[in-house]
Structure 1
Amino acid sequence: MIANNPLHNLNLRGAYCELADLLRLRFAAQDLKLSARRPARSLLTGGERTRMRGRGIDFEEVRLYQPGDDIRTIDWRVTARTQVPHTKVFHEERERPLLIIADQRATMFFGSRLCFKSVTAASIATTLAWAALHNSDRVGGLVFGDTAQHDIRPRRSKHAVLELLQHLISFNRQLTTPVASASTLSLAEILTDLRRIAKPGSALFICSDFHDFDDACEQQLFELSRHTEVTLMHVFDPLERQLSSNVALTISNGQQRCVLPANDRAFQQAWQANYEQRLAELVKRCKRLQVPMLSYSTADDIQGLLRESYSALAPKKKHHRN
């Protein structure tokens, strides 16, 4: 029966997430591969191949000998044939810790369709964590709210994922309003602290609406991307992108109220143009940094889209999807 199928209806709904729902997402993560890496042949140095080159066992190429190269890697056949010293280059095998960063600030406490942005971010973060555990990666993360944050040390253990889930729920349940306070932690501060947590060679997945992404964030992201693999998971609500209503809508920032006119085409076009401009700026910054970004709506089938991007059978990830 469909009701007993654990893969049925795994997408989260509502304003808050439940532990039972996050635990069920492990079924959706079983066929996900977070990168196209081939397994390493030696588990002593790490379970995955990286782009780092060194004294590994997977042959990469032959190139001209350079001062400082180990003479034991000289390819004597090519050297004899060309009369010019050549050396072999190998892929070095390293572990790749995976860090999942989840935004649970006040601006994420908003949604007009299936769930709030905070719940969508928690769903994405949880699915990625289960997928990493299935792939035998060391899993850790950082969950942050308006005034506090908590980081989880990467471990190849189910306890690391469960710790991440507990903090996701804890920060999620603290949300009561979409209106941010004056002392809210900025994304730039989180990215700055992330440089302390993320070790070289780590993979970082940052789930947020990136509403406060600015020049300071770009600089910190540049520093992070030099030594880690960063992917942005952009979360938004359809109402933020396109305002369409047959009735007037009343909005408030906690201090003032404003009535949005109904069926005002000029206003709706300006609303959409403002969103598209901010999104285009974020995409432009990502392309400049060569950092991939995926966009997810609160109305999307999150698990289906993650399978499209990260399924082990998928030929290629689709980045900058809007």
Structure 2
Amino acid sequence: MQQTDLKTRNQLEHLNPKGAYAELGNLLRLRFAAKDLRLFAPRAVKSQLNGAERTRFRGRGMDFEEVRLYQAGDDVRSIDWRVTARTQVPHTKLYREERERPVYIFVDQRASLFFGSQHCFKSVLATHIGSNIAWAALNNGDRIGGLVFGDTNQRDIKPRRSKHAVLELLHQLHEFNHQLNSPIASPDAKKLVSVLSDARRIAKPGCALFIVSDFHDYDQSCEQQLFELARHTDVTLIHVFDPLEQALKSNARLSVSDGVNRLQLPTDNAEFQQAYENAFNDHLGFLSNSAKRLGITLLSYATADNLQLMLRERFAAKK
């Protein structure tokens, strides 16, 4: 048993994100890793969409199941008039009750994610998380749609229950990822609040919405947009970060540059190190408290994490 677990662990290690850019072949191979993931526990959904996810909600589905004698209280719209005319006894059609939960995946590929100090860049980590979710949703028979957004453009993927929807998402992730070349955003770069506003237009009531970002510009205006989203959709925020953003410790001063200006940071100063760490924790605390207030799930993954094992800790299918 231990040998099998070790073998599986080693196989998963090869599927973890690496490097400054995502490779399409690696995103495609995540399909095999996602077989073990289940995004949702069975439960009632918030809308009356028809589909493959059974719930306690009572209503008319899309798949015909059988004809039986009409009973008091049956919907008269379901009467089978042909059978009724033939038998001279009222009969009604029964439909298999079904519901579905379309999955929308929003992945941030803006300049701020083009950074990493361990294993991979945040942008690469985000593409792997989005790809895992997409493959897991496909394996569950859900419709998959989403949005990939950079600093100046974005691409919508219409929800479909097919491998083509996942492949389109992966190709867009790969394309946007390879357009990144600097962690310095342009002055007119897209803000997260505008993306969340678009999400209210794109994500349909009752769907599951996964948003993968570093949330560096998350503020109260973003919380208001999430409040409106969370009223009708199941939102999961997935925060990606690099350990160097969490803590910056050095025995010597470090210099940073944006390609034009150079600044020396007092990273050898304990007070500066503490202030730097506090700034990260304060922003993450604001994001966490915001998610709690709205009843939204917040997950957080670092570029140094073993992503595949951590995804299994959260989404592993129960046997």
The reply to whether residue 154 of structure 1 matches residue 159 of structure 2 is: yes
Contact 1:7 1:27 in 2 (8 A): no
User: What TM-score does the superposition give when structure 1 sets the normalisation length?
Assistant: 0.81
Aligned twin of 1:191: 196
Taking the aligned partners of 1:171 and 1:245, their CA distance within structure 2 comes to 34
Instruction: Please give the residue correspondences for 1:264-275 in structure 2 after superposition, counting only pairs within 5 Å.
Output: 264-275=269-280
Cα deviation, residue 227, structure 1: 0.7
Instruction: Please give the residue correspondences for 1:18-97 in structure 2 after superposition, counting only pairs within 5 Å.
Output: 18-37=23-42, 45-50=50-55, 53-55=57-59, 72=73, 93-97=98-102
SS of the residue 2:31 aligns to: coil
Taking the aligned partners of 1:282 and 1:262, their CA distance within structure 2 comes to 26
Question: Quick one: which of 129, 139, 142 aligns to 1:137?
Answer: 142
SS of the residue 2:54 aligns to: strand
Question: Between Structure 1 and Structure 2, whose CA radius of gyration is higher?
Answer: 2
Q: Deviations over 1:38-57 (max 9, x none)?
A: 699xxx94211357x33379
Contact 1:99 1:202 in 2 (8 A): yes
Larger fraction in helix: 2
Instruction: Please give the residue correspondences for 1:219-258 in structure 2 after superposition, counting only pairs within 5 Å.
Output: 219-258=224-263
Q: Which amino acid in 2 is paired with 1:159?
A: H
Contact 2:12 2:309 in 1 (8 A): no
Aligned twin of 2:174: 169
Taking the aligned partners of 2:231 and 2:267, their CA distance within structure 1 comes to 48
The reply to whether residue 114 of structure 1 matches residue 119 of structure 2 is: yes
Q: Which amino acid in 2 is paired with 1:95?
A: E
Contact 1:6 1:24 in 2 (8 A): no
Q: Deviations over 1:161-216 (max 9, x none)?
A: 11001000110011010011111011111111111111111100000000111121
Aligned twin of 1:88: none
Q: Which amino acid in 1 is paired with 2:129?
A: I
Contact 1:188 1:213 in 2 (8 A): yes
Aligned twin of 1:208: 213
User: What TM-score does the superposition give when structure 2 sets the normalisation length?
Assistant: 0.82
Matched length: 278
Taking the aligned partners of 1:175 and 1:50, their CA distance within structure 2 comes to 42
Taking the aligned partners of 1:23 and 1:127, their CA distance within structure 2 comes to 9
Which consecutive residues of structure 2, in runs of 5 or more, have no partner in the other structure?
A: 1-6, 62-71, 75-96
Which consecutive residues of structure 1, in runs of 5 or more, have no partner in the other structure?
A: 58-70, 74-91, 315-322
Q: Provide the aligned C-alpha RMSD in A.
A: 2.4
Cα deviation, residue 37, structure 1: 1.2
Taking the aligned partners of 1:165 and 1:136, their CA distance within structure 2 comes to 18
The reply to whether residue 181 of structure 1 matches residue 186 of structure 2 is: yes
Contact 1:48 1:94 in 2 (8 A): yes
Contact 2:114 2:122 in 1 (8 A): yes
